[in-house]
Amino acid sequence: SLHLAIKKVPISNIYWEYLKTVEILGTRFELNEKDVVLAFDYTDEDFYGDPQGFWIYGWTGQNAVTGKFKFLTCAIVSSDIPQKIPLISVPVRMGHNMAHTVAWCLSVVEPLVKSISLVLFDRGFYSNELMLTLSKTKHPYLIFVPKNSKIRTELAEMEKNEKKTIQHKFKLNIDKTVLRGETTLALLKQIFDKRSDKLYDWAFATNQSSINFDHIIASYKRRWRIETGFRVQDEARIMSKSKDVSIRFFYFAYEQVLQLLWVVLYKDEVSFKVFMLDMYEECIARYKNI
């Protein structure tokens, strides 16, 4: 059966084959000559049953969902590249090292592009280890910072529309070794947002040598495009009750392959839903001719 065949294949084979597909389709829009802005985010797929093992994260039970399989995705979100495609996704288990996983993903997608000009992260990725790791690998990052007590204190002392930077030094204890790093905190107080007609405070962490306050918010908002990609992928969701991470990841990667094919080859012609229906009818026709 399909599931037995999938179980015989190492998980690594799935993402390496996906990377080959990205490389092949990338030639259609000269991906290897692009300077890209990337975004990372976690997404998940529902599990119904008894959540056992390290791959299924426990859930509330709402709508009968008792657990989640989680995946880390890296996608293109550049404004000047129409093909906003996921470059790689990997399943992540409970207790995984986020910084190491992000760095590994960057190392395997880097050969596909000319250069990585910026990597965007939401507040869930704000960690000293990730910032230290990205600075060591020389990847420019922009991370949305949670409004902790330090950030709230700094913002409280600022005036409306004020913008400033702070050099933030930190320590990290890993395996009884103290590592030191630093990042630049960019703070913006009560900035007007045209779309919502409201004022917002913003806080970012970055290792970029220069910061353009006029564009930093717009640069970060490009990260939201990866969430748009997840919503598109949901239209191709393959339902499964399997507890096996290999099977769940295979289906997840297959969903992203469909999205990849549509974005690169058919997006200007049909909607993703129409593309999926056409694919279904083509498969049925071929099956009948076997």
pLDDT in tens, 22-32: 999 999 999 99
Does the pLDDT value for residue 159 go beyond 70? yes
The answer to whether residue 140 sits within a structural domain is no
The answer to whether residue 157 sits within a structural domain is no
Does the pLDDT value for residue 79 go beyond 90? no
Q: Is the dihedral of CA 210, 211, 215, 220 positive or negative?
A: positive
Mean pLDDT of 76-97: 94
Q: What is the pLDDT of residue 287?
A: 81
- Please, which residues bridge with residue 74 across strands? 40, 88
Mean pLDDT of 237-248: 91
The answer to whether residue 185 sits within a structural domain is no
The answer to whether residue 201 sits within a structural domain is no
Q: Are 7 and 242 in contact (CB under 8 A)?
A: no
Mean pLDDT of 3-13: 94
The answer to whether residue 235 sits within a structural domain is yes
Mean pLDDT of 264-288: 91
Rounded CA-CA distance 108/88 in Å is 9
Mean pLDDT of 173-199: 92
Pick from 64, 145, 148, 76: nearest CA to 105: 76
Does the pLDDT value for residue 239 go beyond 90? no
Does the pLDDT value for residue 69 go beyond 70? yes
Mean pLDDT of the chain: 94
Rounded CA-CA distance 5/244 in Å is 13
The answer to whether residue 200 sits within a structural domain is no
Does the pLDDT value for residue 39 go beyond 90? yes
Q: What is the pLDDT of residue 200?
A: 95
Question: Which residues span the domain enclosing 66?
Answer: 2-122+223-288
Rounded CA-CA distance 51/59 in Å is 9
Cα-to-chain-centroid distance, residue 168:
25
User: Residue 33: how many CB atoms within 10 A of its CB?
Assistant: 10
Q: What is the pLDDT of residue 290?
A: 67
∠ at Cα 188 (184, 191), nearest 5°?
A: 155
Does the pLDDT value for residue 33 go beyond 80? yes
Number of domains in the chain: 1
The answer to whether residue 87 sits within a structural domain is yes
The answer to whether residue 11 sits within a structural domain is yes
The more confidently predicted of residues 253 and 288 is 253
